[in-house]
Amino acid sequence: TIGLILPHSVSTFFTDPYYPNLLMGIAKACNLYNFTLALFLVSTKEDEANVFSRVGRKGFLDGVIVQSGHHGDQGAIGKMVDKKIPLVVVGRPFRSDNVTYVDIDNINAAKSAVTYLHKIGCKRMATITGPLDSTVGIDRLEGYRQAIKEQNGQVDDNLVVEGNFTETGGYLAMQKLLPFQPDGVFAASDVMAAGAMKAAEDANLSIPKDISFIGFDDLPAASYGSNQLSTVRQKVAELGQKSVESLIEQIEDESIAPRQIILETELVIRQSCLQLLDISPQNIK
């Protein structure tokens, strides 16, 4: 049996489409390799104590996958490492030298999105970040900063607003940005981008004539509607599949050293931003 620990509430799990996609990849791989999957949702310190006391019992699980990246998860990860429980983390943990993790290159993926906004003529590029107590939030913000600086620009703190990976969070963040007149927005998730676009439309801005948007994830909803979302595509289900495969390798061979598995991303341009005639990799470096 493989345990999947998600440090989120039940409501978040069912409302954020990232998690069902991740779970689909993990569940398919478990079926393929004849493992049972046990799901644990952890939203409080009490939940964490209960779950990790069970997970730590010898023979309770063959191995564990943890969706991580927040400061608060590091202690629990460390306990499992100390107990030598086969473990794979989805998302770069804050301490990454002693554990196997599967992730994407969030810095360069975000950088490519912001560089594209510059290429299509945006002068005031804003970002709605993920939570800045998470590695994904920190890394995607770093990619934004690097892109701005490489275009000989200075990062304007008025154009950086922290979000929380929800549509409401994206809407409220965009309302904070509007007075500073951004003409391009990189949102660190598709869900936040959807909220931000709604706020722009409510302010009578035309997308993409007045303002362009790029999200992150390429979840199914990104390709729906009249203003289909440009986004950074990451293969969320594949993250789940690779996590299971790497965990099984550890279960079968305890001598395998911790390693980092980095999957590729792709910039997908749709109607929510202006388009270059040629968006080959050479043009968006």
Measured distance between the N- and C-terminal CA atoms of the chain, rounded to whole angstroms: 44
Pair (240, 110) in one structural domain: no
Instruction: Tell me the C-alpha distance between 145 and 94, whole Å.
Output: 20
Structure tokens at 79: 């306990």
Same domain, 53 and 145: no
Supply the pLDDT for residue 82: 81
Range of 57's domain?
2-104+235-264
Half-sphere exposure of 269 (CA within 13 A, CB side): 20
What is residue 43's predicted lDDT score, i.e. its pLDDT?
77
Residue 10 pLDDT exceeds 80? no
pLDDT tens per residue, range 96-122: 788 999 999 999 999 999 999 999 999
pLDDT of residue 221: 79
- Residue 111 sits in the same domain as residue 153: yes
Same-domain status, 18 and 45: yes
The average confidence (pLDDT) of the chain is 89
Residues 64 and 9 in one domain: yes
Q: Are residues 177 and 99 in the same domain?
A: no
User: Is pLDDT at 254 greater than 80 in this prediction?
Assistant: yes
Are residues 118 and 181 located together in one domain of the fold?
A: yes
Flag whether the pTM goes above 0.95.
Answer: no
Determine the average pLDDT of the residues in 72-99. 83
Quick one: pLDDT band at residue 260, thresholds 50, 70, 90? very high
The mean per-residue pLDDT over the stretch 257-264 comes to: 95
Amino acid in the structure at residue 139: D
> Are 190 and 242 part of one and the same domain?
no
135 and 273 part of one domain: yes
Q: How far is Cα 148 from Cα 154, in angstroms, rounded to an integer? A: 7
Question: Are 18 and 148 in a shared domain?
Answer: no
Sign of CA dihedral 59, 65, 67, 72: positive
Q: Is the pLDDT of residue 140 over 50?
A: yes
The CATH number of whichever domain residue 254 belongs to comes to 3.40.50.2300
Domain count, the chain: 2
Mean pLDDT, range 211-223, rounded to an integer? 91
Q: What is the mean pLDDT of residues 195-214?
A: 97
Give yes or no: residues 66 and 77 share one domain: yes
Q: Based on the domain organization, do 158 and 276 belong to the same domain? A: yes
Judge whether residue 9 has pLDDT over 70.
no
278 confidence band (pLDDT: 50, 70, 90): very low
